[in-house]
A and B are shown apart, each in its own frame.
Chain A
Amino acid sequence: MRKERIDRGLKVRTEGIYAITSAREILYLMGPRILLIVGLLALPFVFELAPYWKKVINIMCAYALLALSFDFLANYVGLVCLGGAFFTGIGGYFAAIFNVELGMPVWLSMPLAGVAGAIFCTVALLPCLPLRGVYFAIVTLMYPLLFTRIIEALDILGGTNGMTGLDALPNAYVENYVIIVVALVFLFAMRRFVNEDIGLVLRGVKDNDQSVRASGISVTRMRIIGVFIASLLGCFAGAYIAHLYMWAGISLFALDFSIIPIAAVVIGGGGTLVGALIGAFILVPLSEVLRAFGTFRIVIYCAILTGFIVFKSEGIMIYLQRKYHQFERWVKV
């Protein structure tokens, strides 16, 4: 006997355009997406009576953005970013500069900090983009540590105290929905983006950079585009967190912002993009529950992370997708 895995009939029927003729097939296609969108939009109301957990939703979605950026960079561009904290830190400080020093309103400073931060990060990472992926990992690992030291040592941007006095978002619902909507929009935009022509080329950069070069496409240019998009997500998350806490300080470069997104992607399933969100939705509440453990939480993430990489490298989302689209049965050999 041998286990055989084949596609469900329903899945095969929904592959063509004629799926739109049947409500059941439409439901099969739309169901999981609608579940995610509606579920996420309903979360603030579900936790109406638990204001603390409403705050957790914000952080959770900010981490989801970071995880999305890591997943995109690692699995579609082939660059492992070990310092997601670099993006949050830069985004947060830009938001502080725009909001406190230049007096811009929140709704302007957050997106602008995202874009300005993304440009800054891309330029900062530019030297290692023509090189193999391991250089990118090394440099991104160093940047958050270095920027912390530089800010501490030179006592710029508020030094160790950070910059205070950022404007808060108008109310709790706006806080929730800004980040939820942004996370959802970015998720679906990225899913579409990676299936466009440019996404195909980016995947080519990851799998075989020599052939991309042989086709007359600049690998560096493609990587710049990839890094810009990823750091846009990261910097926006950073700017949002800075406005949420009304404070931008060195702790925006903290290790948590680097390791939780990586763990979320590995757990959720690399390369699916949705997996990154799901991983973040599992890990961040878990980390709130384990708050009492302090830095030991990082050890827990790392253990989970290594375990998943070694024993279950496909991650939750790919497993779920397989169960959804396929069934297994025993057959005689």
Chain B
Amino acid sequence: MELVVYGIINSITLSLISLGFTLVYSISRVPNFAHGALYVAGGYLTWVFLNHFLGIPYFLAILLGVIITSAVGAAIYQFILVRIRGMEISEIIATYAIGLAILEGLRWGGLRGGTFVLPAFFPGSVNILGASVDYQRLIIVGAGVLTFIILYLFTRFTKVGLAFRGIAQDERAAMMLGINSDMTAVLSLAIGSALAGLAAILLLPLGNIVVEGGYNVLVFAVAVCVIGGLGSWGGVIVASFIIGFAQILTEYFISAHYQMVVALLAIIITLLVKPSGIFGKQKELEERV
């Protein structure tokens, strides 16, 4: 029973991490390799607001952190990516370079060691089905589910959300219907970065803010997205449950060291068996070559 509870928590954590990446890729077709960096930056900004602007309540610090992270994401598109749109090689290199610059800049600026800790929203823990779960993890599950519901409603029932889906399905047809492709892409990067920041703020109270976290988040986000099918939202949920449970099971039965190996094996098996991922059906032709 313990395994099920921890597995669900781990899976929701993974899907929170990878939601932003998949959103950006599905809409703007930019593989945002700065995702992990934005995650760490979101957590760090919140920490700065919390500790260096005395008197700001935690809630406000979180809000500011998320908003600024999302502004950074939008700026990355507006000032850099828009100029190299469509040149796949340049896009990949540029986002990767920006991500590295943010992460290594933070490391150089002193982000190391265990001093950077966000407090939990509510301290304490509760006993669920024989497993002790602290409140922060419950909040993660709640917030994760809530984020999914909000995103689902947003993409079905608002004008901007429908424009997102239009661009994701067929960019040219959407442009003919008067949807501004660049504007949508800026918005998608803003929302994707906001999701990265949100994930950071929810997850980081469980540990320290460290630069390595950025690389781990990027690797896991990418793993989940490849397995679920790049740009597929349903795939993200299913794939994060697969990897999440696989990780918890290996951790329980073998050793915690093998978590990364599990992700790697899952990617390789997916690429060999069904390259477009679990839910990438309609884009299968495009993915293969």
Contacts and interface: CB of A to CB of B under 8 A. Distances in A.
Query: Interface SS of chain B: helix, strand, loop or mixed?
Result: helix
Contacts of B288: 130-132
21 contacts: A127-B271, A131-B275, A135-B226, A135-B230, A137-B33, A138-B226, A139-B267, A141-B222, A142-B219, A154-B257, A259-B100, A262-B96, A295-B108, A296-B104, A296-B108, A301-B97, A305-B93, A305-B94, A306-B97, A309-B84, A309-B93
A153 to B, nearest CB: 3
Interface residues of B, number: 43
Interface residues on A, range: 35 or more
A264 B286 CA distance: 31
A128 interface: yes
Contact of A145 (B88, B219, B286): B219
B101 interface: yes
Interface in A77-132: 78, 80, 82, 127-128, 130-132
Interface in A38-97: 74-75, 78, 80, 82
Contacts, number: 132
A130 B289 contact: yes
Interface of B: 31, 33, 80, 83-84, 88-90, 92-94, 96-98, 100-101, 104-105, 107-108, 215, 218-219, 222-223, 226, 230, 255, 257-258, 260-261, 263-264, 267-268, 271-272, 275, 286-289
Contacts of B286: 132
A306 B100 contact: no
Nearest to A133: B88
A287 to B, nearest CB: 13
A82 B95 CA distance: 11
Nearest to B276: A131
Contacts of A303: 101
A27 interface: no
Contacts of B105: 296, 299
B272 A259 contact: no
B104 A298 contact: yes
A299 B104 contact: yes
Contacts of B89: 74-75, 78, 80, 133, 270
